[in-house]
Structure 1
Amino acid sequence: MTLTTDKRRYDLDWLRTLVFGLLILYHIGMYYVADWGWHIKSDTTSTVLQNLMILTNQWRMSLLFFISAMALALAQQRSSRLKLFGLRSNRLLIPLLCGMFIVVVPQVYYEALSQQLIEPGFINFWWQYINPNTDLLPGHHSPIGLLTWNHLWFLPYLWCYSVLVLLAAPLLNALAKLLQPLPASIALLLVMASLICAWFFLRQAYPSSHALVDDWYNHAKYLLVFIAGYLFALQGNWWQLVIAQRRWLMLAAMLCYSLIIADRNGLFDSLPASFGESVSGRLIVGVVLALNHWGWIFALIGYAGRYLNRPTNALDKNGSLLHYCNNAILPWYMLHQTLIVVFAVWLKALALPVAIEAVLLITLTCAGCWLGFEVVKRFWLSRWLFGLKVTLPTLTTANRPMQNNTP
């Protein structure tokens, strides 16, 4: 039995929503872990939380790229490439500029303030932030001054990959037809081998920067994932096999995650240091990381395809929740990290017990995102700035300007 790909895939909508929800919790967790740098830090940190976050940080963003590519491949069956280019440009680039000039500014402000690099005064800071020739924080400048996209790095990467894939769509569509007889197991080995090569040759030389222009390891990984997602969406037999084998894929992913956590907690410290630096040692690590990466992606695609590919279910009897999520997901994504930083600064001053603080931080962040979306969706300008569909106001008889009939 093959899986049809010409209908709307509700499982992709649900999975995208769930992964973005996980992203919000992940960024809240970044406030409470010690080993990973972030904008501000709690005085209380947790190694257990960090180990739990490692569960997702190998594949979380890759899954979003994979789903976005699948959606692009399916949309191309109904829309022209030019129309899709316009839609993705409007939905990604305009929110990116809005985010850089407005949304992420408090993140930079409170980070610099916490490090005592600036004096209090948000408005004065914002004027310096948008000035490409500013002398403020010289050690933090990019080619465009202090302007940054911070957590919104996903938007320019996704736009670039979408443009590349749309340009290469005729070749990729032809390749998809050639790959139809290829067993899914061989396809899995190919994408794993590609990721292993990227990790082996690029990971140390080009550590993750999210700066777009020099982030070659991330490009090798995420562009591969994006192309794989595009091709995968066009292979109904692969999709069906992933759904059928979801349990085995989840088992492989959990095993690899366990090995990664065991290594981080010193279980393999008895091995000689030369082993980890050897070609064979690095290849073994690469295989574990690649299988962990792709195992989670395909397992979650499989479980979503099995249980979530329906417009209505117990969570959404009238389709309203999924409809809300599809519209709210981009504004929530844009707003959430700034709200986390702002609320964390406020809560830190109260010196609450960490459990109470964490619950309040989650609650306030979600409430702020909900309220922000409620405001954004009500005005055409804010809808445009946050990537929502826009219907421009039309002139009625009451507000149409008077005609000047003077000769």
Structure 2
Amino acid sequence: MTTLTDNRRYDLDWLRTLAFGLLILYHIGMYYVADWGWHIKSDSSSTMLQNLMILTNPWRMSLLFFISAMALALAQQRSRRLSLFSLRSNRLLIPLLTGMFIVVVPQVYFEALAQQLIEPGFISFWWQYINPNTTLLPEHHSPIGLLTWNHLWFLPYLWCYSALVLLTAPLLNALAGSLQPLSGRIALLLAMAVLICAWYFLRQAYPSSHALLDDWYNHAKYFGVFIAGYLFALQGNWWRSVIVFRRWFLLAAIACYSLIIADRNGLFDSLPPAFGESVSGRLLVGVVLALNHWGWILALLGYAGRYLNRPANAWDKQGKVLHYANNAILPWYMLHQTLIIVFAVWLKALALPVAVEASLLIVLTCVGCWAGYELVKRFWLSRWLFGLKVRLPAVKAEYATPVTR
């Protein structure tokens, strides 16, 4: 089987960094769009911003799952499955619990405060939030009370998908070998077919909830992408083809995005309503959505493979940025949405022009994430809680156990 797995793929590191950076900007944008629900909302909204956010909305999280699966496939060639499972569990589940009990709490607090559902008082709210038997906000309860993971839903989903893939890795590796003669075009059509079926049969019955247990449309979409990423990483010929045809993927993605925006702005309103509800009409929409989804993912993968897969010297500027990003990305991800909400509440009271407010919100969020990471990385306990590599404190010589012969 031909693979591209001998060396570290720096393009995947860069893509992951850029995707999480895009996620921060996207969540800041959620504060300023009117049609989509979010924890708090600005008094100003922008349709143009919403149209721009639709550009990334269908594939942004899929790209992260795709990259994560590729990284898992490549890592499995150097590490045992049990070691990888332990590593992913430690770096996903511990930060998830940290986020649920500490990081996410201000999001729930300020959302309830904005809706006038609670009285001010963060500490008293936090005690109710961590109490599984609380009677506060009963309409917002999950099976564990008010505890929630909010934007950290990616972590439990990624852990579940990783566990399933590691459990079935021998079968998937054998499947990857049998797929070697399959052309990239056929593989793309199969991936699109899976996404079209998920959209056609599950989207309306199981709308996105990020609740894990009943989120069947998202599971069909994201787990399908995860499996595709795992298999893709083991196919050198597919990877090379994506790099060669990156411009065509980009053109297809732009064309499909243009159709989606045109539809949202009423360009196809003259079509008979029955067409949109017919099997052929829904399938046509599904094809456009699937090609838009995979077109952007493969275009980005192709351009990254062409221009970003270069060894980064730890002493040059590019190497320092990538080294920092690889270490800081999880704490930044955990902290960013809470900081957005806290700073948005503070800035809203100042009644600044929206352009000034949005610019400050971006700057303050990034500075807050940087400061948070700088604090987290200095202590072994906070490093462990935020998913960073941990070196336990050295035992002082006077307290060390003496060696006896």
Q: Which residue of 2 aligns with 1:238?
A: 238
The structural deviation recorded for 1:181 is 0.5
The structural deviation recorded for 1:397 is 1.5
Q: Which residue of 1 aligns with 2:284?
A: 284
Check conservation: 1:31, 1:41, Cα contact below 8 A: yes
Establish whether residue 162 from structure 1 lines up as the match of residue 162 from structure 2.
Answer: yes
Establish whether residue 86 from structure 1 lines up as the match of residue 104 from structure 2.
Answer: no
Name the amino acid aligned to 2:234. L
Q: Which residue of 1 aligns with 2:249?
A: 249
Whole-Å separation in 2 of the counterparts to 1:141 and 1:250: 43
Name the amino acid aligned to 1:103. V
The structural deviation recorded for 1:317 is 3.6
Q: Which residue of 1 aligns with 2:190?
A: 190
Q: Which residue of 2 aligns with 1:96?
A: 96
Establish whether residue 200 from structure 1 lines up as the match of residue 162 from structure 2.
Answer: no
Q: Which residue of 1 aligns with 2:134?
A: 134
Residues 284 and 318 (structure 1 numbering): CA distance in 2 closer, same or farther, change over 3 Å? closer
Name the amino acid aligned to 2:66. F
Whole-Å separation in 2 of the counterparts to 1:26 and 1:80: 36
1:4-403 equivalences under 5 Å are: 4-312=4-312, 317=317, 319-398=319-398, 400=399
The structural deviation recorded for 1:153 is 0.1
1:135 aligned counterpart, secondary structure: coil
Whole-Å separation in 2 of the counterparts to 1:7 and 1:150: 36
The structural deviation recorded for 1:394 is 1.6
Stretches of structure 2 lacking an aligned partner (at least 5 in a row): none
Equivalent pairs: percent with the same residue? Answer: 83
TM-score (norm 2): 0.97
Whole-Å separation in 2 of the counterparts to 1:354 and 1:236: 48
Whole-Å separation in 2 of the counterparts to 1:219 and 1:229: 15
Name the amino acid aligned to 1:285. V
Name the amino acid aligned to 2:30. M
Residues 316 and 201 (structure 1 numbering): CA distance in 2 closer, same or farther, change over 3 Å? farther
Check conservation: 2:200, 2:286, Cα contact below 8 A: yes
Check conservation: 1:316, 1:322, Cα contact below 8 A: no
The structural deviation recorded for 1:189 is 0.2
TM-score (norm 1): 0.97
Stretches of structure 1 lacking an aligned partner (at least 5 in a row): none
Whole-Å separation in 2 of the counterparts to 1:50 and 1:256: 17
The structural deviation recorded for 1:320 is 1.3
Whole-Å separation in 1 of the counterparts to 2:208 and 2:315: 37
Whole-Å separation in 2 of the counterparts to 1:3 and 1:312: 22
1:170-195 Cα shifts (integer Å, max 9, x gaps): 00000000000100000000000111
1:201-221 Cα shifts (integer Å, max 9, x gaps): 000000000000000000000
- Cα RMSD of the aligned pairs, angstroms, is 1.4
Q: What is the aligned length?
A: 401
Check conservation: 1:6, 1:77, Cα contact below 8 A: no
Residues 390 and 185 (structure 1 numbering): CA distance in 2 closer, same or farther, change over 3 Å? same
Name the amino acid aligned to 2:366. C
Query: Which stretches of structure 1, 4 residues or longer, exceed 2 Å deviation after superposition?
Result: 311-318
Whole-Å separation in 2 of the counterparts to 1:315 and 1:270: 60
Check conservation: 2:130, 2:146, Cα contact below 8 A: yes
The structural deviation recorded for 1:396 is 2.0
Q: Which moves more between the two structures, 314-323 or 353-362?
A: 314-323
Whole-Å separation in 1 of the counterparts to 2:354 and 2:228: 41
Whole-Å separation in 1 of the counterparts to 2:139 and 2:6: 51
